[in-house]
């Protein structure tokens, strides 16, 4: 009887609705891995901000190197390639816009990386809870700035590839077909894109249509030329 009194009365749950019962798993002892992960999580609270700042410094240096290489390649090859394009609009203008956008993105990426690495000025906090709160906030801000820097760096790639694509596939000066000059026996000289024969008349055709019709018997020379003069 004394043993029954020591155990106490049994708990009767028969009258309790099932939806009001909550069953919890029995606690399990922590494994060495659990203890190690908990210790590392605790350490990251103190080392998170310096780690992010060091990562931002390395990332900023990497972006500076990449930007320097792209700038050098653009300065060496871009000028000659741009000059070889035939039309100012839209191809040369497009190259300028795309290259300028890539450069602005690179500068923005470097600036955000520097902001993540240097942090922000904060006042001296003497309270431990307040200091922990300010440190956690600074860590989140630095991490967000580093992510922004990396997103801007990734955005450089399509702009730079588009710049190379326009310079490679846009009409080049050498692709422009030569013009033709026709001279007759009375001293007239006519220039056009091409000529065609209609019975006994040679028709000179330019960009805006027919330039002249010259009888074939009056023609003294037909020569190619790189560009038509504004005067006949």
Q: Within this chain, do residues 93 and 138 fall inside the same structural domain, yes or no? A: yes
What is the number of H-type helices and E-type strands within the chain?
Answer: 5, 6
Q: Within this chain, do residues 98 and 193 fall inside the same structural domain, yes or no? A: no
What domain count does the chain have?
2
Q: Within this chain, do residues 162 and 57 fall inside the same structural domain, yes or no? A: yes
Q: CB–CB of 183/232 below 8 Å?
A: no
Q: Within this chain, do residues 185 and 219 fall inside the same structural domain, yes or no? A: yes
Q: Within this chain, do residues 97 and 193 fall inside the same structural domain, yes or no? A: no
Structural domain harbouring 185: 177-225
Is 34 among the domain residues? Answer: no
Q: Within this chain, do residues 60 and 140 fall inside the same structural domain, yes or no? A: yes
Is 82 among the domain residues? Answer: yes
Phi-psi region of 8 (alpha: psi -120 to 50; beta: other; left: phi over 0): left
Is 207 among the domain residues? Answer: yes
- Measure CA of the first residue to CA of the last residue in the chain; give whole Å: 131
Is 12 among the domain residues? Answer: no
| pTM of the shown model | 0.55
Q: Within this chain, do residues 63 and 170 fall inside the same structural domain, yes or no? A: yes
Q: Within this chain, do residues 114 and 181 fall inside the same structural domain, yes or no? A: no
Strand-pairing partners, residue 198, are: 201
Q: Within this chain, do residues 118 and 191 fall inside the same structural domain, yes or no? A: no
CATH number of the structural domain spanning residue 190: 2.30.30
Is 140 among the domain residues? Answer: yes
Three state DSSP letters for 69-100: HHHHHHHHHHHHHHHCECCHHHHHHHHHHHHH
What is the pLDDT, as a whole number, of residue 3? 45
Q: Within this chain, do residues 170 and 183 fall inside the same structural domain, yes or no? A: no
Pick from 112, 91, 118: which is nearest to 156 by CA?
112
Query: Last residue of a domain, which of 174, 194, 211?
Result: 174
Q: Within this chain, do residues 169 and 192 fall inside the same structural domain, yes or no? A: no
pLDDT tens sequence for the chain (232 residues): 444 445 556 666 666 676 666 766 656 776 777 667 777 766 666 677 788 888 888 888 888 887 777 777 666 665 556 667 776 678 788 888 888 888 888 888 888 888 888 866 555 656 777 777 777 788 888 888 888 988 988 888 888 888 878 877 777 766 666 788 888 888 888 888 778 888 888 888 887 888 888 888 888 888 888 777 765 4
Is 11 among the domain residues? Answer: no
Classified as helix, coil or strand, 222 is: strand
């Amino acid at each position: 009887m004394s043993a029954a009194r020591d155990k106490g009365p049994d708990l009767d749950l028969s009258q309790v609705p099932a939806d009001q019962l909550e069953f919890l798993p029995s606690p399990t002892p922590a494994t060495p891995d659990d203890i190690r992960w908990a210790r590392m999580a605790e350490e990251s609270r103190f080392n998170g901000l310096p780690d992010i700042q060091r990562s931002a410094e390395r990332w900023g240096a990497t972006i500076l190197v990449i930007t320097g290489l792209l700038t050098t390649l653009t300065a060496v090859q871009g000028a000659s390639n741009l000059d070889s394009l035939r039309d100012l609009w839209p191809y040369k203008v497009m190259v300028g816009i795309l290259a300028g956008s890539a450069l602005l993105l690179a500068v923005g990426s470097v600036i955000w990386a520097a902001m993540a690495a240097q942090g922000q000025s904060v006042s001296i906090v003497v309270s431990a809870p307040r200091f922990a709160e300010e440190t956690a906030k600074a860590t989140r801000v630095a991490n967000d700035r580093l992510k922004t820097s990396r997103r801007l760096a990734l955005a450089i790639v399509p702009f730079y590839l588009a710049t190379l694509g326009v310079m490679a596939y846009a009409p080049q000066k050498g692709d422009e077909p030569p013009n033709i000059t026709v001279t007759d026996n009375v001293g007239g000289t006519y220039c056009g894109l091409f000529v065609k024969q209609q019975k006994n008349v040679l028709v000179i055709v330019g960009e805006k249509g027919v330039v002249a019709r010259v009888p074939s018997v009056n023609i003294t020379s037909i020569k190619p030329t790189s560009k038509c003069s504004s005067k006949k």
